[in-house]
Structure 1
Amino acid sequence: MGNRIETSLNEDLLATLQEEHYVTIATVDAESGAPKVNAISWIYAKDSKTVRFAVDQKSKILNNIKSEPLVTITVIADGSTYSLTGKAFIGEDVMNNVPLKLRMVEVKIEEVKDVMFYGARLINEPKFEKTYDEEAALKLDNQVMKALKNA
């Protein structure tokens, strides 16, 4: 069911993005002007119009957003691929109660588009595993997600 365009997350996407989920974010490179894509998993949908994510305070994503705040987040879920486009705002401070120096970015969603090509449905969503200490990864993930929810 490709190319449906909405202005907010539907209930299924909202639920998907209220748990850690693999997504990509596209920004405009501040130096070259070229599109840049990064994979992230610390993402949380505050509501149907607002998505938050966390990145290292030294991430190039932050410099790119300062230069051009329009971003696109790609979400693979519910058998399809969705493009979430909106304006990104960088939080003022390093996130509290998280041992890493992370910054929160909040995206005000302007467009949600089903970009799956016609006549197809995804049968598997991307899965990932943390390749460092499982216990430490779980603890850090919980801290980051809690900070995103409570910001």
Structure 2
Amino acid sequence: MANRVENELTEELLPLLQEERYVTVATVDHETGGPNVNAISWVYAMDSKRIRFAVDNRSRIVENLRKQPRITLTMIGGGSTYSITGTSEVIQESMDDVPLKLALIEVAIEEVRDVMFYGSRITAEPKFEKTYDKEAADKLDKQVADAMKK
């Protein structure tokens, strides 16, 4: 997808965002007006035009998006780095069937851009591990994933 701009997720990118993945979220800070970047992993592409993600409902992300709903998600995958820009909406202040107070946010995708620098490709994608109880993490991840897909 190098040097191309799409208005939705491609067939290659869609399944990458239907599994747990390291993604960064860039918003406009509601106090300073400057950039605010956070890392998330509870993210799910509903289809090629919509991405949902979950964050603590006290997160700065939520307050930022209430004031300015424009958002950019950055994903590393498929051998490159992609900037996914759109308009967000908090669709649930507190997700049902999830023990934590998580907000569910949906992004209407407007632009997908390959932002990898010229003449290069990603050879290893970011990996992460949960540092708390594995069984509890797996249970929570399943609850959040199921709630996002509703």
TM-score range, shorter chain: over 0.9
Structure 1 residues 34-86: Cα deviation after superposition (integer angstroms, max 9, x where no partner): 10100000000000000000000100100100111000000000110000000
Q: Which runs of 5+ in 2 are unaligned?
A: none
Query: Counterpart in 2 of 1:81?
Result: 81
Is 1:149 matched up with 2:134?
Answer: no
Please say if residues 2 and 117 of structure 1, whose CA atoms lie closer than 8 Å, have aligned partners that are also in contact.
no
Letter matched to residue 78 of structure 2: D
CA distance in 1, matches of 2:108, 2:43: 13
CA offset digits 1:61-115 (Å, max 9, x no partner): 0010011100000000011000000000002431000000001000000000000
Identity over aligned residues, as a percent? 60
The answer for unaligned runs of 5 or more in structure 1 is none
| Runs of 4 or more consecutive aligned structure 1 residues displaced over 2 Å after TM superposition | none
Aligned match of 1:34? 34
CA root-mean-square deviation = 0.8
Q: When the two structures are superposed, what TM-score results if normalisation uses the length of structure 1? A: 0.97
- TM norm structure 2: 0.98
Shift of 1:2: 3.0
Structure 2 match to 1:104? 104
- Distance in 2, Cα, partners of 1:148 & 1:11: 21
Three-state SS of the structure 1 residue aligned to 2:93 is: strand
* Aligned ranges 1:6-85 → 2 under 5 Å: 6-85=6-85
